[in-house]
Amino acid sequence: MGVVTFEMELQIPPARMFKAFVLDDPLIPVLLPQTIKDVVAVWKAMAIPAPPLKASASGSSKFARFAHFNRFALASRQFNSVKHRVDELGKEKLKFAYTIVEGDALMKELEKISDEINFEAGLDSGCVCKSKYYATEQGRDHGGADQGRRREGHRNVQGH
């Protein structure tokens, strides 16, 4: 299995990063307006607004729409949305795992894209964000991630 790992140190306490990126869905479009238009909880087949903590429960799903002009554009392909399933939500351990299961970001070639993110204590009361990312294509696993995009998102939280 191909796995890409990503690690970044930030000057933000780990609990604050976890809350901003995992629990507080309305904050994501504020921090990344050029990339994310909105994030809503999905209940059954309908996208409905839901309180952030309930929307982030394990087994729940979220639907994210990208901004019209975003950094997810790949060559001439523009991504519009993704639906991801929350696989694990560890509030005590500050761990979050999710799988993208629908959306044009899968490019009709990928079965799913999975990501596991841990926020750990770092130096000077900051944190270290560790991520494992992998994609599955027709029974095969491939690693791959846009690490620059992730760094930008984490730095936006730090500046907020």
What does the DSSP assignment read for 33-94? TTTEEEEEEEETTEEE---HHHHTSTT-EEEEEE-SS-TT-BTTB---EEEEEEEEEETTTT
pLDDT tens string 104-146? 878 878 888 899 999 999 988 899 999 998 888 765 555 544 4
pLDDT tens string 27-82? 888 888 888 888 888 765 555 554 443 445 677 788 888 876 555 555 445 778 88
Instruction: Please give the structure tokens belonging to residue 27.
Output: 């904050």
Higher-confidence residue: 148 or 81?
A: 81
Q: Does 26 score more than 70 pLDDT?
A: yes
Q: Does 148 score more than 60 pLDDT?
A: no
pLDDT tens string 87-109? 999 999 999 999 998 988 788 78
**In Å, how far from its chain's centre is CA 54?**
17
